[in-house]
């Protein structure tokens, strides 16, 4: 099974557990970490919009909680033509992933398109100069 297939299966399973009573729009995300763990997250809505959590943010929190420190590959999955990470999640991904890390965007049937973190977030926020 390829890395993409593993991440796709985990993102799809995570999507099914999403808490989305308001939008009914489920999203799942799965990350391959620097130490080759697969972690996932789902979106969690809240009646006090915009206090919900995106799937990518949930996966990143699970990654940190599990003791990993960076991202090697990502799958974001939703039942949509193309559900790329929101602007905030692009910055969150950039915090833990190099610009060349692949972000695969999928629907329920499979891969739709692959981007790099750098393509999704050119000129992202940086606190310090990068060498």
Catalytic residue among 10, 45, 56, 73: 56
How many structural domains compose the chain? 1
Domain assignment present for residue 86? The answer is yes
pLDDT of residue 128: 82
- Segment 99-123 shows an average pLDDT of 97
pLDDT in tens, 51-81: 999 999 999 999 999 999 999 999 999 999 9
Domain assignment present for residue 116? The answer is yes
Domain at 102, CATH number:
3.40.140.10
Domain assignment present for residue 112? The answer is yes
Domain assignment present for residue 32? The answer is yes
Cα-Cα end-to-end distance for the chain = 36
Share of the chain above pLDDT 90, in %: 91
Going by their DSSP bridges, the two strands 110-116 and 102-107 should be labelled as antiparallel
Strands laid side by side in the 27-33 sheet? 38-42, 27-33, 71-78, 102-107, 110-116
Question: How far is CA 101 from each of CA 73, 86, 91, 112, 122, rounded to the nearest angstrom?
Answer: 6, 17, 13, 17, 13
Domain assignment present for residue 126? The answer is no
Domain assignment present for residue 127? The answer is no
Share of the chain above pLDDT 70, in %: 98
**Would you call 16 a catalytic residue per the annotation?**
no
pLDDT of residue 131: 63
pLDDT of residue 26: 98
Its domain, for residue 38, covers 3-120
């Amino acid at each position: 099974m390829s890395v993409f297939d593993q991440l796709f299966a985990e993102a799809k399973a995570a999507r099914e557990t999403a808490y989305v009573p308001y939008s009914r729009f489920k999203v799942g995300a799965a990350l391959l970490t620097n130490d080759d763990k697969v972690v996932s997250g789902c979106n969690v809505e809240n009646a006090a919009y915009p206090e919900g959590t995106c799937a990518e943010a949930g996966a990143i929190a699970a990654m940190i909680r599990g003791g990993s420190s960076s991202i090697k590959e990502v799958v974001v999955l939703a039942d949509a033509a193309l559900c790329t990470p929101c602007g905030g999640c692009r910055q969150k991904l950039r915090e833990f992933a190099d610009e060349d890390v692949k972000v695969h965007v999928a629907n329920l049937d499979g891969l739709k398109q692959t981007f790099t973190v750098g393509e999704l977030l050119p000129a992202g926020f940086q606190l310090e100069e990068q060498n």
